[in-house]
Amino acid sequence: MGTPEFAVPSLKALVESGDEVVALVAQPDKPKGRGLKPSPPPTRVVAEELGIPVLQPPGIRTEAFLQELAKLRPDLICVAAYGKILPKTVLELPQFGCLNVHASLLPKYRGAAPINWAIARGEKVTGITIMQMDEGMDTGDILLTREMPIDYDDTGETLTGKLSLAGAELLLQAIAELRKGYLRPLKQDDSAATYAPMLKKEDGGIDWGKPAGEIRNQIRGMLPWPGAFTFLNGKLIKIYKAAVADGEGKQGEVVDAPQGVLRVMTGKGALDILELQIEGGKRLDAKAFLSGRKIEPGAVLG
C-alpha cells in the first residue's frame, strides 16, 4: 500500500525479492496540470508496468474494499506513504500484520510530512523506522531503524529520494528477519513523540522576523510543495535556494549585496536569495533575475 514517489523503491524491492506481490493499493488518481486531467500516482504507473493488479478505493473502511482485500489472502501488508490511517479490519487481515516504512526515527515526527518538517525545524539527523502498525497514527511498535544524516544542502526532494531507497532496503531486512523470528518489537515512548502534520499552502509563507538560518531551513523543507514564498509589490515570489549572511537592519528589507545576490534582512542576520521565481515568470538564479528586474536597496519583501 503506497501512493507517491517515496513508495516506489519499496514496491520494486518487494517484486525483486522474489515474493509474490498480489496487489498494489494506492490513492485514487488526482487532477493535475492546467487541464486538471486525472493523473495516476507514481506507484500505479510502476505497478502496471510490472503487471501487478492495482486497487484505488475512494475509501478503505468500506465492506466492499475489505472483501476485495480479503480475496487476495495476503500474508503481509507493507505500507509506505499510503496516505490514510488503516482501520483495525485491515490491520488484522494478514497473518503477519502490516509493516510500515516511516521516514523518521520514531517517535519523533509522527504524521504525514516527516521529511519536510525535520528539515524545516533544523534537524541534523533523521532516518527510517520499520514499524508494526496499529490503529494509531505512527504509534505501533518499532521493529528496525536506520539513521541518516541531513546534509546542509538537502531539500525535501533530495532527502525523500535518499530515504525512499533506505526504506526499501530496511523493509526487505525486516521481512527476512520476520521469517526467521528475529524481530523484537520495541514499544514507542509516547512522551518523546513529536509531530509532522500534513503540509498546507500557508506553511510556505516566510516571516522575515525569524532568524536567517530558520528561514533557510524552511525554504529547503518546503520543497517541492508548497514552496517557500514572500511578496514584492503585491507579486508572489517563490524562493528555491538561499544562503545565510551577516548583517543588521529592518526585517524584510533589501540591502546592498555582491553582484548576483538578492540580500534581505531578517530577525537575525541576512538571507542571500540565490534562486527564485516571480509570479508569472520563470525559475531563475538571482543574477539572471536581477539582470532583468531592478530591485533597489530599501525595497521591502513580505
Please indicate, yes or no, whether residues 206 and 180 belong to a single structural domain of this protein: no
Please indicate, yes or no, whether residues 179 and 248 belong to a single structural domain of this protein: no
Total of domains in the chain: 2
What secondary structure does DSSP assign to the chain, as a single string?
A: -B-SGGGHHHHHHHHHTT-----EE-PPPEEETTTTEEE--HHHHHHHHTT--EE--S-SSSHHHHHHHHHH--S-EEEBS-SSPPPHHHHTSSTT-EEEEESS-TTTTBSS-HHHHHHHTT-SEEEEEEEE--SSSS-SEEEEEEEEE--TT--HHHHHHHHHHHHHHHHHHHHHHHHHT----B---GGG--B-PPP-GGGGB--TTSBHHHHHHHHHHTTTTT-EEEEETTEEEEEEEEEEE----STTBEE--STT-EEEE-SBSEEEEEEEEETTS--EEHHHHHHSS---TT-B--
Please indicate, yes or no, whether residues 29 and 137 belong to a single structural domain of this protein: yes
Decide if 242 contacts 219 (C-beta within 8 A): yes
Please indicate, yes or no, whether residues 158 and 258 belong to a single structural domain of this protein: no
Percent of the chain with pLDDT strictly greater than 70: 100
What are 290-299's pLDDT values in tens digits? 998 889 999 9
Please indicate, yes or no, whether residues 157 and 231 belong to a single structural domain of this protein: no
Please indicate, yes or no, whether residues 232 and 158 belong to a single structural domain of this protein: no
What is the average pLDDT across 136-154? 98
Whether 234 is in a domain gets the answer yes
Whether 46 is in a domain gets the answer yes
Please indicate, yes or no, whether residues 30 and 146 belong to a single structural domain of this protein: yes
Whether 299 is in a domain gets the answer no
Please indicate, yes or no, whether residues 119 and 236 belong to a single structural domain of this protein: no
Q: Which residue has the cell 520543497?
A: 223
Query: Residue 271 is part of a domain; what is its CATH number?
Result: 3.10.25.10
Mean pLDDT of the chain: 97
Domain coverage including residue 24: 5-192
Total-model pTM = 0.96
Please indicate, yes or no, whether residues 101 and 176 belong to a single structural domain of this protein: yes
Question: What's residue 33's pLDDT?
Answer: 82
The HSE-up count of residue 292 (CA atoms within 13 Å, CB side) is: 10
Q: Does the structure show a pLDDT above 90 at 34?
A: no
Look at residues 148, 172, 192 and tell me which one is the last residue of a structural domain: 192
Please indicate, yes or no, whether residues 182 and 238 belong to a single structural domain of this protein: no
Whether 235 is in a domain gets the answer yes
Whether 297 is in a domain gets the answer no
In terms of DSSP bridges, do strands 228-232 and 141-149 run parallel, antiparallel, or are they unpaired?
unpaired
Start-to-end C-alpha separation, the chain: 41
Please indicate, yes or no, whether residues 47 and 137 belong to a single structural domain of this protein: yes
Query: Residue 95 is part of a domain; what is its CATH number?
Result: 3.40.50.170
What are 202-249's pLDDT values in tens digits? 999 999 999 999 999 999 999 999 999 999 999 999 999 999 999 999
Whether 112 is in a domain gets the answer yes
Whether 302 is in a domain gets the answer no
**223: exposed, middle or buried (C-beta count within 10 Å: 0-12, 13-18, 19+)?**
buried
What are 156-196's pLDDT values in tens digits? 999 999 999 999 999 999 999 999 999 999 999 999 999 99
What are 53-104's pLDDT values in tens digits? 999 999 999 999 999 999 999 999 999 999 999 999 999 999 999 999 999 9
Whether 300 is in a domain gets the answer no
Please indicate, yes or no, whether residues 140 and 73 belong to a single structural domain of this protein: yes
What is the average pLDDT across 143-163? 98
Q: Does the structure show a pLDDT above 90 at 35?
A: no
